[in-house]
Amino acid sequence: MQNYSSTDMLAKLVGFDTTTRESNIPLIEFVESYLDFHGVKHIRVDYEKDRKTNLYATIGPDVEGGIVLSGHTDVVPVDGQKWASDPFTLTERGGKLFGRGTCDMKGFIAVALALVPTFKTMALKTPIHFAFSCDEEVGCKGVRPLVAHMRDHLKRPRAVFVGEPTNMKVVNGHKSAVTFSTEVRGHEAHSSLTHQGVNAIMVAADVISEISALRQEFIAVGDPSGRFDPPYSTIHVGVISGGTAKNIIPRNCDFQWETRLLPNADFEFVPKRMKALAEKLEPAMKAVAPDVGITTTKTNEVPGLRPEDQSVAEHMALHAAQANSTHAVSYCTEAGLFQSIGIPSIICGPGNIEQAHKPDEYVEVAELQACEAYMLRLAKACL
């Protein structure tokens, strides 16, 4: 319990099944016991009481201006995937450490925890904080109570460093992710009497055609920064359902869709377009039956990470990673939420995002070693 190498700590963390449908409390209890042994102060900020929680820990003085090492404890499922070894038992093969979450993103957390004894020996003038969250994989939902608690009750840190897998490259920008649910309420009738019904599926097709048109507009506008892949905002429909039989005009059609916008894009542009379309289509629908309509609801929103050139987070990360340039990614992280409360944030962590969520997920031992050196350089900035 006293000291672990990064690999040994990763083996412990991977051994906890923290698939998002499961509780992360057993993992958090292990981390708390470890921190208690080393005399590190910590608190929980619950997302779901007695089931899902966030852990915030502080090494060093209780003052403003610390740094936050942030990572999520949950992982995606392994259902239906063919693994060469037990996904919840760390297995080393050829310099690679296989297991669910090794890359995304228990490797980063393992390095941070393994360095606790070293951090404790340093004469820190500003603190090193850990922010270990839950339910990131389902829309960055679990960390939100922790972000609010940091904003309202804790000493303000100067920077947050999120350890999502970037091959230890410094990432200062990512797209947002906003999800929507659209419900089309039609009016049933016999399929031979189409004029007496409102076909919810066909109305939904009109709405989806507008989404397709928006997709082409985003492609045409492109990415002025030239940093993102794909080089434009994206929009797509992921799930659709409706109808009961081929000879009944369908009463309902529902579909779920999302946007992933460039970080400086107007969040209200797409909802306004969809509202305008609904107002255009609904009069003809209501002329047949009054209880019909189109309702679109925003179901989740993860803000993008806006590049902040020369921010303290970017400056520190570039120095610690011994890098000369920054990068952008299309996936989203918790970094945008920390930035939204005014804390400069950056992403840099071990592993390649292409390995995340796949069978035989892995992180290279060399990446963990590079992350150790990176964190030690960050820590020296707190002396």
SS3 letters across 154-208: CCCCCEEEECCCCCCCEEEEECCEEEEEEEEECECCECCCHHHCECHHHHHHHHH
Closest of 116, 41, 26, 127 to residue 73, by C-alpha? 26
What confidence score (pLDDT) does residue 88 get? 98
pLDDT in tens, 329-339: 999 999 999 99
Amino acid at 267: F
Segments of the chain assigned to CATH 3.40.630.10: 6-172+303-380
What confidence score (pLDDT) does residue 310 get? 86
Q: Is the pTM of this model over 0.85?
A: yes
**For the chain, how far is it from start to end, CA to CA, in angstroms?**
27
pLDDT in tens, 169-201: 999 999 999 999 999 999 999 999 999 999 999
Structure tokens, 191: 């399929």
Cis status of the peptide bond prior to 285, with omega within 30 of 0? no
* CATH level 3 topology of 6-172+303-380: Aminopeptidase (3.40.630)
Q: Are strands 159-162 and 234-242 parallel, antiparallel or unpaired?
A: unpaired
Mean pLDDT (whole number) for 232-256: 97
The dihedrals phi and psi of 243, each to the nearest 5 degrees, come to 85, 160
Closest of 129, 126, 127, 75 to residue 102, by C-alpha? 75
What confidence score (pLDDT) does residue 1 get? 55
Residue of 74, 164, 258, 372 with catalytic role = 74
Higher-pLDDT residue of 191 and 264 is 191
What confidence score (pLDDT) does residue 336 get? 97
Count the residues in the chain.
383
SS3 214: helix
What confidence score (pLDDT) does residue 369 get? 98
Amino acid at 33: S
Segments of the chain assigned to CATH 3.30.70.360: 177-302
Q: Give the number of C-alpha atoms closer than 13 A to the C-alpha of residue 243, restricted to the C-beta side.
A: 15
CA distance linking residue 163 with residue 103, whole number of Å: 10
SS3 332: coil
Q: Are strands 345-347 and 159-162 parallel, antiparallel or unpaired?
A: parallel
Residue 74 known to be catalytic: yes
Mean pLDDT of the chain: 97
Mean pLDDT (whole number) for 242-267: 96
CATH architecture assigned to 177-302 = 2-Layer Sandwich (3.30)
Residue 136 known to be catalytic: yes
DSSP for 70-131 reads EEE--B---TT---SS-TTS-EEETTEEESTTIIIIIHHHHHHHHTHHHHHHS--SS-EEEE
Instruction: Indicate if the pLDDT at residue 77 is higher than 70.
Output: yes
Residue of 17, 104, 135, 136 with catalytic role = 136
What distance lies between CA 28 and its chain's CA centroid? 19
Instruction: Indicate if the pLDDT at residue 2 is higher than 80.
Output: no
What confidence score (pLDDT) does residue 12 get? 98
Instruction: Indicate if the pLDDT at residue 357 is higher than 90.
Output: yes
